[in-house]
Structure 1
């Protein structure tokens, strides 16, 4: 394998969380005066933090984005994630294979807040595989699409970014991985828009997380 470390995004790559999180966000925004279909909500917010879209939210709701509003969102989101979250099919096996192939040099690098990250990894049983190598963009000077979270993850496993493989599913995340100097592969399930991942710099696209071990070994087409 040409890579010495594998750095995974979390939402949409390891956990099937996007429709849960954005469903909660959609409902809360509707209560605040901005009603829209969940698909439109995901278009506006997927791959981005809610706070980074504060100006848009305030223009549509006519209300300030307060800490109290964000707490309500986090509380409702975490309740739903705890009750409903499932791993992406094949993610557990992919992480275990990456751990074996790299001698444990794997990390999780997400734009999500620390509480969400830890809840999700614990819920699906992946927390022990990553150990301390879990990074939140909220805790760094800049979050995705800036490279900070991937640079921090690479440092934590002692591997130069250019020897790291990043697994991402959004153009924002792909941009972050490329900016860090890593090779980025885009997870693109059937029906997803792979072109935007290519345009952001993903070197390879794949449809099933369970295919990753074979792809690393060169045993399956990209």
Structure 2
């Protein structure tokens, strides 16, 4: 497979999106349910602490912190119950992130099919949310689950898989993420990462995203196409100054 390279119009060969909190407004629903189920196990955890502890991470990988605070080693059956209750709630209430459709229209005009979704979530959840929000039409089969890789975020596996499927060098890809674990995964893959922090109760603070390695942080999806254009202009300007 030939490797697609950046173009004269953009320093990026492709754009790789996270899903939850970036394209779909699902985190409030999911975190609220998780806090409820952890309280059922005896952990009087607050909503805010649930956000800090679990957002952006695979629940199955967090069994030790749950065991330490509840004395319960989460089982496949418990995780299955969480998934069922979570998906029931999401089918009713999940919505696209504000401006996601308009942003994807503009990004597709720039990159065509060189965009992909690379989520840490399980395939059933990803597919259901894309169907409910109708955002799946932008990605076709270019949808990747971290649960289907050897390691999920903050490991880079899902971003490396997405880049390989698109035929791009991950070092030339742009990743759009909203959590420290996701930014860490994108940086570990060698990509440039733009952080998304809209200021909601489940948003990771912009300073934390920058601290994890995000090149910049933005607060509205409507900003993203212009930010990519501005970044391209700066890169071209820097390159021209370095020319002899």
Query: Could you state the TM-score of these two structures normalised by the residue count of structure 1?
Result: 0.95
> In angstroms, what is the RMSD of aligned CA positions?
1.8
The answer for the alignment partner of 2:172 in structure 1 is 163
Q: CA deviation at 1:35?
A: 2.2
Match among 199, 206, 209 for residue 221 of structure 2: 209
C-alpha contact (below 8 Å) 1:108/1:134 kept by paired residues? yes
Give the Cα separation in 1 of the matches to 2:22 and 2:43.
29
2:118 match: secondary structure: strand
The answer for the alignment partner of 2:198 in structure 1 is 189
C-alpha contact (below 8 Å) 1:58/1:64 kept by paired residues? yes
C-alpha contact (below 8 Å) 2:157/2:189 kept by paired residues? yes
Give the Cα separation in 1 of the matches to 2:158 and 2:62.
20
State the aligned residue count: 222
Cα distance change of structure 1 residues 122 and 61 upon mapping to structure 2, 3 Å threshold: same
Give the Cα separation in 1 of the matches to 2:223 and 2:157.
28
Within 5 Å, give how 1:57-68 maps onto structure 2. 57-68=66-77
Give the Cα separation in 2 of the matches to 1:153 and 1:73.
27
Q: CA deviation at 1:217?
A: 2.1
Query: Could you state the TM-score of these two structures normalised by the residue count of structure 2?
Result: 0.87
1:167 match: secondary structure: strand
Structure 1, unpaired ranges of 5+: none
Question: Given the alignment of the two structures, is residue 108 of structure 1 paired with residue 120 of structure 2, yes or no?
Answer: no
Give the Cα separation in 1 of the matches to 2:32 and 2:199.
21
Give the Cα separation in 1 of the matches to 2:27 and 2:199.
16
1:35 match: secondary structure: coil
C-alpha contact (below 8 Å) 1:98/1:104 kept by paired residues? no
Give the Cα separation in 2 of the matches to 1:114 and 1:122.
12
The answer for the alignment partner of 1:120 in structure 2 is 129
Match among 96, 106, 129 for residue 105 of structure 2: 96
Match among 179, 186, 204 for residue 177 of structure 1: 186
Q: CA deviation at 1:96?
A: 2.2
Match among 3, 6, 19 for residue 28 of structure 2: 19
C-alpha contact (below 8 Å) 2:122/2:145 kept by paired residues? yes
Structure 2, unpaired ranges of 5+: 1-9, 232-244
C-alpha contact (below 8 Å) 2:58/2:153 kept by paired residues? no
Larger of the two Rg values belongs to structure = 2
Within 5 Å, give how 1:32-47 maps onto structure 2. 32-47=41-56
Question: Given the alignment of the two structures, is residue 198 of structure 1 paired with residue 214 of structure 2, yes or no?
Answer: no
Question: Given the alignment of the two structures, is residue 150 of structure 1 paired with residue 162 of structure 2, yes or no?
Answer: no
Moved over 4 A (4+): none
C-alpha contact (below 8 Å) 1:22/1:38 kept by paired residues? yes
